[in-house]
Structure 1
């Protein structure tokens, strides 16, 4: 599920907001990784899942991320000014495994990019260095696509459909949800705009009949509409408030019905905002009352520094929580 929204035109900060929508807790942990970590892309929660030719690398950049099930990274940014977000895409097809190419289990996909790339361009160049390998986490297939953005406002959306990689690279790609694939989402958005104009809704107003359900197409169109209407903020604080307003509008209430099958109901578990200009990470858990944030510059990211973590579910957590992180064993 999930929604990602990029606001790269507000004049104060490049901001990316997202919702994490899932039918159970993903056990999110805010985690700071220093530089110089030795990684094995064939491991999943302590288990080897890529036996033949796993991708190995050493992190070049420190990062501040949200982990998923302690086995991978779902969202976050690095000190170089790159952010990445993993969203569900049921139609993901990675194609057959080629053992001649280094294999990277897909739950570590965006951590690899955050470890090694400063910009969207850098990250896209890394895609050919490995082959993504599908995995399951807690019985769920990790069929995902990824959104990237950097401090310049550049943006890319990466999907694997029918075994082939599709890259949509343009700073104008600001909204992303789930099914269908991104090119079809854009077509549906154009169709919706055409329909509204045909009904006489050439100007935005409270009478515009926006899609209001929680499916991916409705959330995409609603997020695109309200993002385009965000007023110019006075400062970066107002800019963060603006992007949060849209992510909350695109959120899924508790108990909202989805469709037949395993995902009968799901809801927004948390929301995040990556401030790529000021290197701050905002986090809002749906079951906690406070918005919290951390500044990556407050952490020691030098090689050999400890991994730092914070579980964001304490009801006393609010505001700047950079000093609430504690040393922890690396989850992967």
Structure 2
């Protein structure tokens, strides 16, 4: 479930795409958070999930995010051009709780980094001395791994094994799906050279994470040199559509489900694009037109609102968000 592609090898813009695959609607909202918002990493809305030594912080940066079930953040970008994408990883193991360390539940992991970091390096530093605590939503554990990137094109993949962070940090880590672990994904990718794709190269066509990973590599190697934002974004969105899971092809017993939505983030020009698979319209918002000042209201739109189309920046309205 889910795929992330980073395009950081062109001279026009750093762009990141992701797909969200899930067995049901995640009830997404696109939310604008201002600076100065106080957070509690031990609260899942009103439920205390980290009763001992929860991590608490105040947001340094404003962000535009996509929420999941109204309980946390699964995708987004902040005003400094840091992008964060949470994808499912069944093997995630947060380890045994150590109350000596501030606890952060996995539903707020992505938001914590968006709130406090301007670069990938700063985001990784924020994890020092912090312990992640597993939570669930709608009967599903938030067994997540993160892909993060910044406006300079730096990248990192972060996973949890035995309670320890496993970090792949570097511009070369541009692709990510789900299981198996990222080490194994890289070994599978190395088994076939996709750096010189051709029409004669056999290409995996299934919807499982391994096949999607390899297709993402193949089409990423074919990306044309961008000259403007629209074709650049369209290039990444085309890959995300190619690695999406179509309706009628989910295999729940294997953890593969249809795609609910896709996003593309332009980290250079600070524009966030969102495409719901049940809508013919692509939505976008430009962060430069949003008010992130401390004390500004939290704003949101519901992407399932069929009246929304194109630039939805003026359509955001105040909304209570419980985290």
Q: Give the TM-score taking structure 2 as reference length.
A: 0.97
Give the alignment of 1:66-85 within 5 angstroms: 66-85=66-85
Indicate the residue corresponding to 2:300 in structure 1. Answer: 309
1:212-251: CA deviation from partner (whole Å, max 9, x where unpaired)? 0000000000001100111112212211010001111010
User: Does 2:132 match 1:132?
Assistant: yes
Give the alignment of 1:321-332 within 5 angstroms: 321-332=312-323
Indicate the residue corresponding to 2:106 in structure 1. Answer: 106
Q: Give the TM-score taking structure 1 as reference length.
A: 0.95
Q: Larger deviation: 184-193 or 35-44?
A: 184-193
Tell me, which stretches of 5 or more residues in structure 1 are unaligned?
A: 197-201
| Distance in structure 2 (CA, Å) of the matches to 1:38 and 1:130 | 17
| Distance in structure 2 (CA, Å) of the matches to 1:136 and 1:314 | 27
1:257-314: CA deviation from partner (whole Å, max 9, x where unpaired)? 32526x4x62000000111101110000001110010011211111110000000112
Give the alignment of 1:1-332 within 5 angstroms: 1-193=1-193, 204-258=197-251, 260=253, 263=255, 266-332=257-323
1:108-154: CA deviation from partner (whole Å, max 9, x where unpaired)? 00100000000000000011131100011010011010000000000
Runs of 4+ in 1 over 2 A off after TM superposition: 202-207, 257-261
Say if 1:61 and 1:79, in contact at 8 Å, map to a contact too: yes
| Distance in structure 2 (CA, Å) of the matches to 1:118 and 1:137 | 29
Displacement, 1:203? Answer: 5.0
| Distance in structure 2 (CA, Å) of the matches to 1:91 and 1:39 | 27
Displacement, 1:162? Answer: 2.7
Say if 2:29 and 2:302, in contact at 8 Å, map to a contact too: yes
Say if 1:10 and 1:233, in contact at 8 Å, map to a contact too: yes
Say if 2:70 and 2:321, in contact at 8 Å, map to a contact too: no
Say if 2:298 and 2:319, in contact at 8 Å, map to a contact too: yes
1:78-115: CA deviation from partner (whole Å, max 9, x where unpaired)? 00110000000000001100001110010000100000
Say if 1:28 and 1:312, in contact at 8 Å, map to a contact too: yes
The number of equivalent residue pairs is 323
- RMSD after superposition: 1.3
Say if 2:19 and 2:244, in contact at 8 Å, map to a contact too: yes
Displacement, 1:177? Answer: 0.2
Displacement, 1:207? Answer: 2.6
Residue aligned with 1:129, SS? coil
Say if 1:135 and 1:142, in contact at 8 Å, map to a contact too: yes
Q: Larger deviation: 184-193 or 169-178?
A: 184-193
1:18-53: CA deviation from partner (whole Å, max 9, x where unpaired)? 000000000000000000011101011221111001
Residue aligned with 1:180, SS? coil
Say if 1:288 and 1:314, in contact at 8 Å, map to a contact too: no
